[in-house]
Amino acid sequence: MGKGIWVYAEHKNGKVKKVTYEMLGAARQLADQLAEEVAAVIIGKEVGELASALGEYGADKVYVVENDALAEYTTDGYTRALAGLALEHRPTAIFLGCTVQGRDLAAQVAQRLQTGLCTDCTKVELQDGQITLTRPIYAGKAFVQVVCPEARPVMATIRPNVLPPAEPQAGRTAEVVMADDVQPGDIRQIIKEVVRQVSSRPELTEADIIVSGGRGMKSAENFKILEELADVLGAAVGASRAAVDAGYAPHSMQVGQTGKTVSPQLYIACGISGAIQHLAGMGSSKVIVAINKDPEANIFKVADYGIVGDLFEVVPLLTREFRRLLGKE
Amino acid sequence: MKVVVLTKQTFDTEAKITLDAQGKINPEGVSLIMNPYDEFAVEEALRIKEKTKGEVTVVSMGGPKAQDVLRQALAMGADRAVLITPELEEMDEYTTATILAKAVSRMEYDLILGGWRAIDDGSAQVAGRVAEILGLPVVNMVIKLEIAGGKVLATREIEGGSEVVEVPLPVVITAQKGLNEPRYPTMKGIMQAKKKPMEKLALSDLGLTAEEVAPKVRALKYFLPSPRAQGKIVPGEPAEAAAALVRLLREEAKVI
């Protein structure tokens, strides 16, 4: 045992993000094949208590970097912490979630370690003894399989919601290593203000179900009917570029090549025609449902189930049916 | 202020992707555009130039066709352009960032702007790597930028909201949609662009060798996603269809 497959454990509001458990599953498989250990790295202020859960999900070791200066994420502080730890222990691979934070951190760390980085991976496997990574390019219109033959660590960010999460084993524990010698140093980014939209809905990129609206929604107000359906399903609400450009929804809700790429279990497209750049962003959804009054709409070519009809009639009916099914009446 | 903008030429968002005989992405017949996120970066640079009587240099890497992107930026109002054509068989983000950083290091700059990612490989790491090589701080996915007193206040998108980050100049900033509304080049701008300087550099002009910029990551193969099978239209009146769909999602698709 040595070296190690590392997983960066991103956390928010005192909870480890789900993609961490997805990465731990993949890391465990690789580590077993390579006879190496799985280590999780958690950085922040008072985050040590999150370490036990990481052990249950397959980490052999958890490196904890705790520092008041790391209370909130900054590019400089976290880069120095993770890169510093990696320079000391020289892992074989480091995986991070392909989230806003994971992307930001991974690029800086990869350059500091003079290594390669494969972003937004949807598959991690061992082929001919090499860690082989598959990632969508052109927003999912094509895929490329890559390796990092010499430079170490192999670095990758992993798309949330794609790899199956590790099964937790109650009582399994990891060795906790407090990395007290790792210092954040000078942090040039000073966080002046954080504005969080209060939403009880899940993140688009992590949601199991997404209800999405297009130009056919006709106004921002009409998104209310999608929100009602989403709340019955515990879903996130998305939008097509046409809807965002028309001002019906903010860009943070946009799904597609110039928005977010999503892979939910269920994607319900309402009033979305199915432009190629939208299909690129949601084509890897497990099940796609389309509701559109135009039977010729492109979206029906990729949808598993379609209803040709007026979404303003169909969506509230769906909400009612789901409410009944899920006992939320 | 002297602003450098990193730009990339990409396939149009409506482009259909195919593979060529060698199994690589086929560029034949695809219309090329400036990476949409880079347009926000160019626009922001021009607004800063107009406010501070500054200067904007646009830099791109690629073959002769990439000149179109630089001409577009010049036509929008940038002052000069640099095109680097490294003529390398294999490249990755490490390669690109090393070359761009070397090119930028020969320039005077207060601020480096770029799109937060390109819509082709979407890896969102070149600008960050450039910052790291040049020893500069980076702020990604910026939707609002204010500059005063040698400092930058950048509002960036984070999950479920935004944050305001203060950072000293010089700095690398990457643009997210929402930062501004890029202008269209005017006819006058297009005419003027033809007379603006465009420097063309090879790898050796930057004092770099192919070995120094050798990629860390190598592509094994490209492939296209398997097409989704066409599904079924759930028939019936709206109420009937809605009830049937919900049943199918539970019993057949098992996603509810």
β-sheet with A190-196: strand ranges across? A190-196, B161-168, B151-158, B138-148, B171-175, B111-115, B2-7, B55-61, B80-84, B198-201
pLDDT: which is higher, B58 or B13: B58
What lies within 8 Å, CB to CB, of A121 at 6+ separation is A98, A133, A134, A135, A156, A157, A158, A159
Q: What are phi and psi of A4, to 5 degrees?
A: 120, 145
What lies within 8 Å, CB to CB, of B204 at 6+ separation is none
State chain B's mean pLDDT as an integer: 96
Nearest CB to A111 within list B97, B162, B219: B97
Q: In the beta sheet, which residues pair with residue B145?
A: B154
> In chain A, where does the domain assigned CATH 3.40.50.1220 lie?
204-325
Contacts of B250 in chain A (CB under 8 A): 325
3-state secondary structure of A39: strand
What lies within 8 Å, CB to CB, of B153 at 6+ separation is A192, B145, B146, B147, B164, B165, B166
What lies within 8 Å, CB to CB, of B19 at 6+ separation is A142, B25, B26, B222, B223, B224
Q: What is the pLDDT of residue A2?
A: 56
Question: What number is the average pLDDT over the span B224-233?
Answer: 88
> In chain A, where does the domain assigned CATH 3.40.50.620 lie?
5-186
| Tokens describing residue A11 | 């956390």
Question: What is the CATH number that goes with domain A5-186?
Answer: 3.40.50.620
User: For residue A181, which of A251, A250, A85 has the smallest C-alpha distance?
Assistant: A85
Please tell me if residue A162 touches chain B, with a CB cutoff of 8 Å: no
Interface of B with A in 174-193 (CB under 8 A): 176-178
Please tell me if residue B151 touches chain A, with a CB cutoff of 8 Å: no
Cross-chain Cβ contact B220/A132 below 8 Å: yes
- No. of H helices and E strands in chain A? 8, 18
DSSP string of A122-135, one letter each residue: SEEEEETTEEEEEE
Nearest CB to A137 within list B121, B228, B255: B121
Q: What is the pLDDT of residue A235?
A: 98
| Per-residue pLDDT at B160 exceeds 90 | no
Q: What is the pLDDT of residue A200?
A: 84
Cross-chain Cβ contact A111/B178 below 8 Å: no
Q: What is the pLDDT of residue B242?
A: 97
For residue range B177-202, list pLDDT tens digits in order: 999 999 999 999 999 999 999 999 99
| Tokens describing residue B154 | 């950048």
CB atoms within 10 A of CB A35: 9
Please tell me if residue A219 touches chain B, with a CB cutoff of 8 Å: no
For residue range A165-195, list pLDDT tens digits in order: 999 999 999 999 999 888 888 999 999 999 9
What lies within 8 Å, CB to CB, of B222 at 6+ separation is A137, A142, A143, A144, A145, B19, B23, B24, B25
Question: What number is the average pLDDT over the span B18-36?
Answer: 95
Q: Which CATH number fits domain A204-325: 1.10.490.10, 3.40.630.30, 3.30.413.10, 3.40.50.1220?
A: 3.40.50.1220
Nearest CB to A100 within list B16, B159, B220: B159
Cross-chain Cβ contact A144/B246 below 8 Å: no
Cross-chain Cβ contact A111/B246 below 8 Å: no
Chunk chain A into consecutive blocks of 10 residues (it has 329) and report each block's average pLDDT, rounded to whole numbers: 87 94 97 97 94 93 96 96 96 97 98 98 96 94 96 97 94 93 90 89 94 98 98 98 96 92 96 94 94 96 96 98 91
3-state secondary structure of B60: strand
Nearest CB to B256 within list A136, A138, A325: A325
For residue range B86-113, list pLDDT tens digits in order: 999 999 999 999 999 999 999 999 999 9
What lies within 8 Å, CB to CB, of B238 at 6+ separation is A307, A309, A310, A313, A314, A317
Q: How long a stretch of residues is chain A?
A: 329
Q: What are phi and psi of B25, to 5 degrees?
A: -60, 125
**Minimal-distance CA residue of chain A relative to B225:** A142
Contact criterion met (CB below 8 Å) for B70 and B32: no
Cross-chain Cβ contact B128/A107 below 8 Å: yes
| Per-residue pLDDT at B52 exceeds 70 | yes
Q: What is the pLDDT of residue A61?
A: 97
Q: What is the spatial distance between Cα B244 and Cα A111, in angstroms, rounded to a whole number?
A: 53
Buried-exposed string B78-90: b where 16+ CB fall within 10 A, e elsewhere = bbbbbbbbbeeee
The residue to which tokens 């073959």 are assigned: B63
Please tell me if residue A104 touches chain B, with a CB cutoff of 8 Å: yes
Q: What is the spatial distance between Cα B65 and Cα B46, in angstroms, rounded to a whole number?
A: 23
Q: What is the pLDDT of residue B124?
A: 96
Q: What is the spatial distance between Cα A178 and Cα A228, in angstroms, rounded to a whole number?
A: 46
DSSP label at B236?
Answer: S
Q: What is the spatial distance between Cα A80 and Cα A188, in angstroms, rounded to a whole number?
A: 12
What lies within 8 Å, CB to CB, of B211 at 6+ separation is none
Q: What is the pLDDT of residue A3?
A: 86
Q: What is the spatial distance between Cα A173 and Cα A300, in angstroms, rounded to a whole number?
A: 48
Contacts of A325 in chain B (CB under 8 A): 246, 250, 256
Contact criterion met (CB below 8 Å) for B131 and B47: no
Buried-exposed string A37-51: b where 16+ CB fall within 10 A, e elsewhere = bbbbbbbbeebeebb
